[in-house]
Amino acid sequence: MVGIVIVSHSNKAAQGIKELSIQMIQSPVQVIDAGGMVDGDIGTDANRIKDAIEKADDGDGVVVLVDLGSAIMSTEMAIEFLDREQRERVVIADGPILEGAIAASLQASIGGTLVQVKGAAEECREVSKL
């Protein structure tokens, strides 16, 4: 099953998004949070992200959702730390972190492929809230 990693500058935000995603799907999808720095400060840590990706990956791949620009850079660095085989199954979704995480988790829970799970997260860019 495709895993999901939530990368936020805030540990609390990443944990909250993870919690909402898990409650919405009530399925065994690996949703892993990788927010904040090891010391609790605001920021992103490539090593924490790498560890989260490895934990989320059962062989079907991992979709990573990020909050801000530097989270993308930290995630790209984390992906570079992985072995070549694993790097090929990790993608960053260009979608809103909260809605994208929930949509991706739902798609993963019904057995979606890496491409489908990433697509579900990215489709949320177009959803109007009103």
pLDDT digits (tens, 9 = 90+) for 28-72: 899 999 999 999 899 999 999 999 999 999 999 999 999 998 999
Answer whether 28's CB lies under 8 Å from 41's CB: no
Residues 120 and 85: their CA atoms lie apart, in Å, by 24
For residue 9, indicate whether it is catalytic: yes
Mean pLDDT for the stretch of residues 83-109: 96
Q: Which domain holds residue 36?
A: 3-126
Please pick, among 6, 9, 104, 114, the residue that the annotation labels catalytic: 9
* Total domain count, the chain: 1
pTM for the whole structure: 0.95
